[in-house]
Structure 1
Amino acid sequence: MLTPFQESGQLYNFSNIRYAQPPVGKLRFAAPVPPQGRNPNVQNGNSTPICPVAWPTWELISAGFVASFIEGNATSFNYTEAEQELQLYLAANGNSSYTPTPRETEDCLFLDVIVPKAVFDGAHGARRRRQNGGASVLVWIYGGGYVGGDKSSSNPSGLIKSSQANGDPGLIFVAMNYRLGALGWLSGPTFQSAGGVSNAGLYDQRLALEWVQKYIHLFGGDPSKVTVMGESAGGGSIEHQMTAYGGQRPVPFSRAVLQSPGFLPTTSQFVQENTTNLFLKYLNVSSIEEARNASSLAVMTANYNLITNAQYASYAVGPVVDGTFAPNLPGIAFLNGAYTKNLTVMAGHNTNEAPAFTPPFIGTDAELAGYLRTAFPTIATPVVDHIVHTLYPLSSYPAPIDRTMALINELLFQCNTDYVARAYGNRTYNYQFEVFPALHGYDVPYSFYNGQATNVSADMVAPVARAMQSYLVNFAMTGDPNGPGLPYFPVQGNNATEMGLNAILLSATAGATPDVMVQRDPTVGARCAWLQKALYS
């Protein structure tokens, strides 16, 4: 019999369930392995392990630029001054030795299962549910640039409450940790030849999803009704799961919600090799075997140095083309039909994804070309010229920074939803989150709304958040976001229809004409179609 580690109202919280062996020793840099045996000790939830995290220092400048963008002063942001202030800050605060937080540990591959009391009690009552029946399941993959985040960062109680609005017992929520930074995303020829597994973080996610398929019936869930949802790196991870192994293996979910799926398309072995060598340098070793035998503190410190010193707009690591799990970029896989076909998909992007990731120092054509050559070292000059002068000509934008943001918006985020929609015959449910300032990540508090104030006034956010949650849980439970009292959410269709999630919902939910919400996705067009070919890689 399962014992809930925590009970909160009408929810059971089964915290910190191990789904993999500790990824240390021989398992460091390797694919995860299911746990062996059984731990008789029931955890009480007081300790919540997370994988080692680190954040690049350029985010300190980025925060200032984002503030200027929100105030309408992006064009006057002084990057030189911000860089000088950063260097002064680092000189004053950056010399102390790295110390991980008490929660950070390599032994971090745990997941949480949060179950409505009615669902769990029903599954273990006199009329026990069969394994192929039960509640719908929503599995959350957090974002954080593949270097940060953890399973406990979002409270699902609002989502679960929304799933119970029509008298249903509700859905089950699952969230897993996966390895971050160098511990989850090292790659390249030297790494793989020494037994390292590229994209280990993706393998972590896949094992967790397989755990759900195998065991969720014990909590009252239906393994045939699993929806995986992720934002940013989480959404990008899901695209890699959908295209894993060239689509030749079944995926352990039937529906997917992609929120601002993001990643830097990386095929270059040169980039992968250099990143691994830089990590080894920070660790002060010369081989992967030595790195595998180093102490956890030493490895975590090297990871910290690798990430904090990453170039502007880079997180140093992330998903790569590895020839196995990721035989190609997701965009190419979707273009060539190398993905899992039997999925129902909902995908969304925000209006202003780019500001937090836009280098404020790029202004001229030459500077933009330099950025492209840094991000994609093998890019050909004609490709650079086409991007700079044809796809994103400076003359088409009010200011140079607007041109750079347009490129970042589409290349790293918005076009990823377009690739998915076209792959699934435009039968996906696409939306755009538009509540000002509609920055990257600003939709997450709406998805996990529990009555709290967020980035806008509470009286404005509540109707939008509740409608968004209703769309999400309806989709997770039925494969269709539509339901009673909601403006109609159409499939994308050949005319690139999307739902606009914005303040209009205030009037729409009060009885205004529902179709005021429906609009054409402005990101669909020739630029995304060209970028999908990845001619820059």
Structure 2
Amino acid sequence: MSVEAIPTSKRANPTIKLDDGTFTGTTTGTIDKFLGIPFAQPPTGDLRFRLPQSVDAYTGTFDATAMAPSCPQQDLTLPISDVLAQEAVDALLNTVYGVVFPDSEDCEYFPKYCLYINVVKPSSAANDSALPVAVWIFGGGFELGGPSMYDGTSIVQRSIDLGEPVVYVSMAYRVSAFGFLASQEVKDAGVGNLGLQDQREALRWVQKYISTFGGDPTKVTIWGESAGAISIALHMLTNGGDTEGLFRGAFMESGSPIPVGDITGGQPYYDDLVERTGCSGSSDTLECLRGVEYQTLLDAVNQSPSIFSYQSLSLAWLPRADGVFLEDLPQQLVLQGSVANIPFVNGDCDDEGTLFSLSNLNVTTDAEVTTYVSEIYLPTGTSSEISQLLSLYPSDASDGSPFDTSVFNAITPEFKRLAAMQGDLVFQAPRRFFQGQMSGKSDQWSFLSKRNKAIPVLGSFHASDILNVYGGGDMATYLVNFVNSLDPNTNSAGVATGGLLNWPQYSNSTPTMMTFLDGLIPRALSDDTYRSDAMTFMTELSLMHPI
């Protein structure tokens, strides 16, 4: 269907009515935006470290012309090393990690809530348009980030240009300790994985209100990258795989069911917060943390290890099995068949681990690698298991990541080795395990992004594929097709569109990946068989020794 441009000079700011509330947004050309709409009550005071509470029916008038502050962010320092070339630094700072997020726990300093939702839609979309809906969940290692990282305008514009318009939604959710506090106390109170619970509440909001914006609540695809993609995978696993009608498809970039353990594994970090905030003497430390002054709590959270600390991807704050949202370990739920039977796309960047290996450059010998792996990732692993793993990930630079770069980019004797292991442990091996388990059960597609391979040290680094979507690349067309038809190749009428290479479905018998490449041939098909022995053993270890 076509959308005709309406001269902006003749249009007032758009308004939309939800319940008895009137929201005023902004318009640009053929696209309207409604930003910063609260979907849950501020998680402050007694609501801090509790399940999200829905907002009351809207009344009055609301300014929806700008995004609200992000939820509280954990302080971190990007691993900008002296060994990085300026080209690599620019790739980090000026693309996917170059955003500073204003944050707030509530509306004390800002007239907005931190739990808010944004809707970007074609201006012509009316409440009877029934357009498919793409719901974006941002990434950031479960420690930082917000919807303001990326603007959905380019996605909606691409959908309009293709004649397959969609409505774009993005939501905020609690991150770091505010969203993923973990301990026995948290488990006993049933308040684990609050960031995931926030996302689920936002999806319920979509079901209730999206038709007013022209969206079809029965045609929702959840889509995200990194922590956002991992979140989506966990939404597929929760509730016995019952989606509750909240979504019908999933599009995951660099994220799948990860090898994490029980929520009590976060006890040391919880205890540290309790100590730093003066709650040690309390008979109810969780209740005490609810009453701690915000800045005091944030300062304590900032002392916990970040994703760019020495322990890297062994995160302090992340989803864990809590007995409520995740009734068992994620990969065990996959084995049990507790997975939503919906079409999905799942893929990775080629060099997922390079960025996260810049924080352990002081690990430079075989002995130090053995110690690092055993202490950080496999504290319950045997010496023979660790020895076998290291034999499958040798120190030869030509085998390491960035892959296919020979002996180049070996900024330390063990950098490329650690990058290969860490990227496979958290991203590549879990994806292959998930897709293998879902073979024959769901329609699925897989991809590998090998673009930006020439960036020194980093190669096709984690999150570099985002530019291929939000930057208007060919992945955006595949995405729009999938949101419309649950097939990346065709539009809602089942007709191949976009003039792109046909993307075959993935199965164990034909593990075909769409591979995005630099150069004159931007796309090719490849088999998901690389590092087979290494990743098979990695998966065996992760099932026995979750992080």
Alpha-carbon shift at residue 420 of structure 1 (Å): 2.8
Q: What residue is the counterpart of 1:367 in the other structure?
A: 368
Distance 1:179 1:35 in 2: 16
Identity between Structure 1 and Structure 2 (%): 27
- Matched pairs, number: 471
Distance 1:101 1:70 in 2: 22
Structure 1 residue runs without a partner (length 5+)? 72-99, 451-464, 509-515
- Cα distance in 2, alignment partners of residues 348 and 29 from structure 1: 33
**Following the alignment from structure 1 to structure 2, what is the Cα–Cα distance between the partners of residues 374 and 70?**
30
User: SS of the counterpart of 1:321?
Assistant: coil
Q: Which residue type is aligned with residue 339 of structure 2? A: Y
Pick from 438, 447, 469: which aligns with 1:424?
438
Q: Cα–Cα, structure 1 residues 273 and 445, in superposed 2: closer, same or farther, change >3 Å?
A: same
* Counterpart selection for 2:525 from 498, 501, 518: 518
Partner Cα distance (1:469, 1:166) in 2? 11
Equivalences for 1:203-214 in 2 at 5 Å? 203-214=197-208
Contact 2:237–2:338 (CA under 8 A) maintained in structure 1: yes
Higher mean displacement: 295-304 or 524-533: 524-533
The corresponding residue for 2:110 is none
Deviations 1:27-59 (A, max 9, x none): 1111111112324131243462210112334x3
Aligned-pair distance for 1:21?
A: 1.0
Q: Bigger CA drift: 300-309 or 312-321? A: 300-309
Q: CA deviation at 1:486?
A: 1.0
Matches within 5 A, 1:80-159: 103-106=103-106, 107-120=113-126, 123=127, 128=128, 134-159=130-155
Give the 3 Å change call, closer, same or farther, for CA 411–11 of structure 1 in structure 2.
Answer: same
CA distance in structure 2 between the partners assigned to 1:11 and 1:165 by the alignment: 12
Preserved contact between residue 251 and residue 340 of structure 1 (Cα < 8 Å): no
After superposition, the CA RMSD in angstroms is: 2.7
Asked if structure 1 preserves the Cα contact closer than 8 Å seen for 2:222 and 2:251, the reply is yes
Contact 1:243 1:333 in 2 (8 A): yes
Q: Tell me how far apart the structure 2 counterparts of residues 248 and 383 of structure 1 sit (CA, whole Å).
A: 40
Task: Specify which of 488, 500, 516 is matched with residue 501 of structure 1.
Answer: 516
User: Contact 2:101/2:145 (CA < 8 Å) preserved in 1?
Assistant: no
Moved more, 200-209 or 293-302: 293-302
Return the alpha-carbon distance in structure 1 between the equivalents of residues 352 and 125 of structure 2.
37
Please report the TM-score for the alignment, with normalisation by the length of structure 2.
0.79
- Among candidates 165, 180, 183, match of residue 178 of structure 2: 183
Quick one: structure 1 residues 332 and 382, their matched pair in 2 at CA, closer, same or farther if it must change by over 3 Å?
A: farther
Rounded to whole Å, the distance in 2 between the matches of 1:269 and 1:17 is 31
Mapping of 1:36-435 within 5 angstroms? Answer: 36-46=56-66, 48-57=68-77, 59-61=78-80, 63-64=81-82, 67=85, 103-106=103-106, 107-120=113-126, 123=127, 128=128, 134-168=130-164, 170-193=165-188, 195=189, 197-248=191-242, 250=244, 252-261=246-255, 265-268=259-262, 271-286=265-280, 287-307=285-305, 310-314=309-313, 315-341=315-341, 343-358=342-357, 359-376=360-377, 378-382=379-383, 384-394=385-395, 400-425=414-439, 427-435=443-451
User: Could you state the TM-score of these two structures normalised by the residue count of structure 1?
Assistant: 0.81
Q: 1:304 to 1:413 in 2, by over 3 A?
A: same
In 1, Cα distance between equivalents of 2:384 and 2:76: 29
Deviation for aligned residue 1:249: 5.6
Q: How much has 1:109 moved relative to structure 2?
A: 0.5
Tell me the distance in 2 between the aligned counterparts of 1:526 and 1:264: 19
Q: Distance in 2 between matches of 1:248 and 1:338?
A: 8
Aligned counterparts of 1:5 and 1:391: Cα–Cα separation in 2: 55
Contact 2:69 2:103 in 1 (8 A): yes
Q: Which residue identity lines up with residue 299 of structure 1 in the other structure?
A: L
2:345 and 2:213 map into 1 onto residues whose CA distance is: 26
Q: Which whole-Å CA distance do the structure 1 matches of 2:220 and 2:390 have between them?
A: 45
37 and 476 in structure 1: CA distance in 2 versus 1, 3 angstrom threshold = closer
Which whole-Å CA distance do the structure 1 matches of 2:369 and 2:184 have between them?
Answer: 30
Q: Which moved more, 1:298-307 or 1:24-33?
A: 298-307
Distance 1:250 1:524 in 2: 37
Residue-by-residue CA offset, 1:365-416 (whole Å, 9 max, x unaligned):
4323322333346513156435534433446666532221111111111123
CA separation of 1:329 and 1:192: change in aligned 2, threshold 3 A: closer
Structure 1 residues 480 and 5: CA distance shift in structure 2, 3 A = same
Unaligned runs of 5+ in 2: 1-15, 18-22, 90-99, 107-112, 401-406, 408-412, 453-458, 490-495
Larger deviation: 347-356 or 421-430?
421-430
CA distance 1:104–1:55, shift in 2 (3 Å) = same
Q: Which residue of 2 aligns with 1:78?
A: none
